[in-house]
Amino acid sequence: MTTSRLLTNQQRLELFYWMLLTRIFDETMVNLWKQGRGVGGTFSQRGHEAISVGAAYALGPEDVIAPMHRDLGAYLLRGLTPARVFGNLLGRADGVSRGRDANLHGMGDLRHNIIGFISHLPHSLPVALGAAMSFIYRNEPRVALTFTGDGASSAGLFHETLNMASLWNAPLIVIVENNQYAYSTPLHQQMKVPDIARRAEIYGMAGVTVDGNDVEAVYAAVHAAATRARGGSGPTLIEAKTMRMLGHAIHDGAEYVPKELLEYWEGRDPVKRYRQKLLDEGVADETELTEIAQRVEVEIADALAQAEASPLPDPATVEQGVYAGE
């Protein structure tokens, strides 16, 4: 199966747009924090754009998605506006979590079928499994997709979830963004077998490895997994190999990462690489791609201005929202 047969040229340009939106948002965010205009910490997405965008693009709006803190592209693609996300980062009243949760945490919105994440990775896995179980329960042709990292694949809950997902034949897609580092700990200090997708076999589920810096490869893998899941063939574990290009969080200079490793992955930058591919294959010319970039720059600048001008939450509301129905 070649991905070009799955995607029209228009769709390929949309993928490029979403990746670029994610990249420019990220660069703007990092600059903002370096200028001291941020609130608390935040997490760069650099290097992860193809995974969050390619995966989210392969789903329908009725499918449920449970992203983590490196999946900005998925949040945006599923309908959270850049202004609402900046609002969340800046602790604003009209941010996704109304000032309740920090940076990219807690950005759930069931109107967009997004489940917000907690720091305790991989807790989105079993929660997404529960969403998938509800689709079986109601006999709905929907899938649930969630993301986690190589680091969280060492937690017992990773095993618990994959075992139950396979046992119950759940329409669940789990993407492990293997970005080589769990904070400062490299993969070889985390596990003996560095190919996480291989674990799928012992659970009796499908497992595939994809180039996490190739948006069309990610799209194709998720598209195939979703088709299988909707057809009743159960869950899929997708390992997307990539590299976290900046530190774990904004404060982290990541001096522990060898320069050569970063140089290798810089040559595989998912956004630049896809831009070149679109040019090479005649999908668009320089002018068209530059126009998309200009549109994205304006969109992000407007979103940030809107978020910075939006109000902070009223301290009198601090106790509101703890319970539903009150």
> Which chain residues interact with other proteins by CB under 8 A?
64, 96-97, 100-101, 105-110, 115-116, 118-120, 123, 125-137, 144, 156-157, 160-161, 163-164, 167, 321-325
Nearer to other proteins, 130 or 186 (CB): 130
Q: Which residues have a catalytic role annotated?
A: 244, 248, 256
Nearer to other proteins, 28 or 134 (CB): 134
The identity of residue 325, as a single letter, is G
- For residue 284, give both structure tokens: 């668009």
249 phi-psi bin (left φ>0, alpha ψ -120 to 50, beta other): beta
- The Cα 218–Cα 59 span in angstroms is 12
Nearer to other proteins, 136 or 293 (CB): 136
Nearer to other proteins, 3 or 81 (CB): 81
3-class DSSP state for residue 280? helix
Whether the Cβ atoms of residue 221 and residue 228 lie closer than 8 Å to each other:
no
Q: Is the dihedral of CA 176, 182, 186, 191 positive or negative?
A: negative
Q: How far is the CB of 314 from other proteins (least distance, A)?
A: 15
Q: How far is the CB of 67 from other proteins (least distance, A)?
A: 13
- The Cα 23–Cα 14 span in angstroms is 14
Q: How far is the CB of 226 from other proteins (least distance, A)?
A: 17
Q: How far is the CB of 162 from other proteins (least distance, A)?
A: 9
Sheet holding 144-149, edge to edge: 64-66, 144-149, 172-178, 236-241, 206-211
- For residue 298, give both structure tokens: 């304006």
